[in-house]
């Protein structure tokens, strides 16, 4: 019998390919930093038994309707808003993602971004590199304190909780909003549940950790930004479209809020000419929340394992549908 056919949408390390090649025929988009072309993806989906994809691949219903043999879509990410889950479920295609393994790494980056935005690190780095550092000055580049400030975490899932643990180490007052209250987190970290209005109006740092869905599209819009304190900092390491970027730009420009730290954008890669990037109070990163060597390796291994599970006829261990 022919070996099952796996298509990988981005160049992967040899050990990951070898893991799959032991029992499958594998073909791979050869570039690491350029996404697979739409034409190639469409062609491959028609023939593949399994797809190894990532956050930048849009897998929609039209594409899935072309799939004849596809048994599993394994994404190397925890977020799966780029995949039409319902269409996959309707066709009996399993979808697997990589939770847990990236939780702590993403929380680390979230905190790094929070600290960089609060203490104006990008501005300081630019000043040094541009040889613009004059004399020491009493109020030069003063930022916001993190310790003892109030953080509001929107979405108390795995990553939200890991961010809360870090915030607790900084003696922050932790508030959160989530689909349901989390008594364990309240007990262990002293976090308190708040409705969105209370969280937005009272927090010094508002940290978006909620998945992107129809319901969370532009959750942080003009109205939400208006509710935030003038000195508040918005952090987003979830998905860009949870925040209305043009409303954020206006709020940052007019001083409605103080600063933002963003790892994710509505359109990625964000163009250097995007209005948000003209603002000195924006700290921007290129979607690197889970990008530690160890974590990305684990995510790739896990994704390959999901494919092998599905091709053996098993239910994948981290099933979305």
Orientation of helix 14-21 relative to helix 293-311, angle to 10°: 10
Site string for ligand DGY, 14-53 (x = CB under 6 A): ----------------------------------------
Which of 10, 239, 258, 306 is catalytic? The answer is: 239
Q: Which residue among 102, 117, 118, 156 contacts ligand DGY (CB under 6 A)? A: 102
Is 287 considered catalytic here?
A: yes
Interface stretch with ligand DGY, choices 27-35, 43-51, 75-83, 199-207 (CB under 6 A): 75-83
Cβ contacts of 185 within 8 Å, gap of 6 or more: 156, 161, 164, 176, 191
Give dist(CA 178, CA 193) in Å, integer. 8
35 exposed, middle or buried (CB, 10 Å; 0-12, 13-18, 19+)? Answer: middle
Q: Which is nearer to ligand DGY, 109 or 172 (CB)?
A: 109
Q: Which residue among 4, 79, 152, 261 contacts ligand DGY (CB under 6 A)? A: 79
**Sheet hosting strand 259-262, strand order edge to edge:** 192-193, 173-177, 150-154, 205-208, 233-236, 259-262, 282-284
Q: Which is nearer to ligand DGY, 154 or 191 (CB)?
A: 154
Which of 258, 287, 296, 306 is catalytic? The answer is: 287
Q: Which is nearer to ligand DGY, 45 or 101 (CB)?
A: 101
Is 11 considered catalytic here?
A: no
Cβ contacts of 151 within 8 Å, gap of 6 or more: 114, 163, 164, 167, 172, 173, 174, 175, 203, 204, 205, 206, 207
Interface stretch with ligand DGY, choices 72-80, 83-91, 155-163, 217-225 (CB under 6 A): 72-80
CB of 57 to ligand DGY, least distance (A): 12
Q: Which residue among 12, 48, 77, 167 contacts ligand DGY (CB under 6 A)? A: 77
Give dist(CA 92, CA 84) in Å, integer. 13
Rg (CA), the chain: 21
Write the DSSP assignment of 233-266 as a string of letters.
EEEE-S-GGGB-HHHHHHHHHTTSS-EEEES--S
Using rule CB under 6 A, residue 78 touches ligand DGY: yes
CB of 292 to ligand DGY, least distance (A): 11
| Cis peptide bond upstream of 269, omega within 30 | yes
Using rule CB under 6 A, residue 105 touches ligand DGY: no
Which of 21, 30, 268, 314 is catalytic? The answer is: 268
Cα 279–Cα 283–Cα 285 angle in degrees, nearest 5: 125
Using rule CB under 6 A, residue 290 touches ligand DGY: yes
Q: Which residue among 87, 289, 302, 310 contacts ligand DGY (CB under 6 A)? A: 289
Interface stretch with ligand DGY, choices 4-12, 27-35, 41-49, 71-79 (CB under 6 A): 71-79
Give dist(CA 151, CA 162) in Å, integer. 13
Binding footprint of ligand DGY on the chain (CB under 6 A) = 55, 77-79, 102, 289-290
Active site residues: 239, 268, 287
């Amino acid at each position: 019998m022919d070996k099952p056919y796996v298509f990988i949408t981005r160049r992967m390390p040899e050990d990951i390919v070898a893991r799959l090649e032991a029992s499958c025929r594998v073909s791979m988009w050869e570039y690491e930093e350029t996404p697979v072309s739409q034409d190639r993806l469409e062609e491959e989906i028609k023939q593949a038994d399994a797809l190894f994809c990532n956050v930048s691949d849009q897998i929609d219903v039209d594409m899935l309707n072309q799939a004849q043999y596809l048994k599993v879509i394994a994404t190397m990410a925890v977020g799966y808003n780029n995949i039409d889950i319902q269409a996959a479920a309707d066709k009996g295609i399993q979808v697997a993602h990589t939770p847990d393994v990236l939780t702590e790494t993403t929380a680390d980056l979230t905190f790094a971004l929070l600290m960089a935005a609060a203490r104006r690190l990008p501005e300081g780095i630019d000043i040094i590199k541009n040889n613009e550092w004059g004399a020491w000055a009493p109020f030069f580049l003063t930022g916001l304190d993190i310790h003892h400030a109030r953080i509001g975490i929107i979405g108390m899932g795995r990553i939200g909780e890991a961010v809360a643990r870090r915030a607790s180490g900084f003696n922050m007052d932790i508030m959160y909003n989530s689909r349901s209250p989390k008594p364990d987190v309240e007990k262990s970290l002293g976090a308190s549940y708040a409705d969105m209005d209370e969280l937005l109006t009272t927090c010094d740092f508002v940290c978006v950790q909620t998945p992107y869905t129809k319901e969370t599209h532009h959750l942080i819009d003009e109205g939400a930004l208006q509710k935030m304190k003038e000195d508040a900092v918005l952090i987003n390491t979830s998905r860009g479209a949870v925040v209305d970027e043009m409303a954020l730009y206006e709020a940052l420009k007019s001083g409605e809020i103080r600063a933002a730290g963003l790892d994710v954008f509505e359109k990625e890669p964000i163009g250097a000419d995007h209005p948000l990037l003209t603002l000195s109070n924006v700290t921007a990163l290129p979607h690197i929340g889970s990008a530690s060597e160890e974590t990305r390796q684990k995510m790739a291994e896990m994704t390959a394992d999901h494919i092998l599970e599905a091709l053996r006829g098993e239910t994948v261990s981290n099933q979305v549908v």
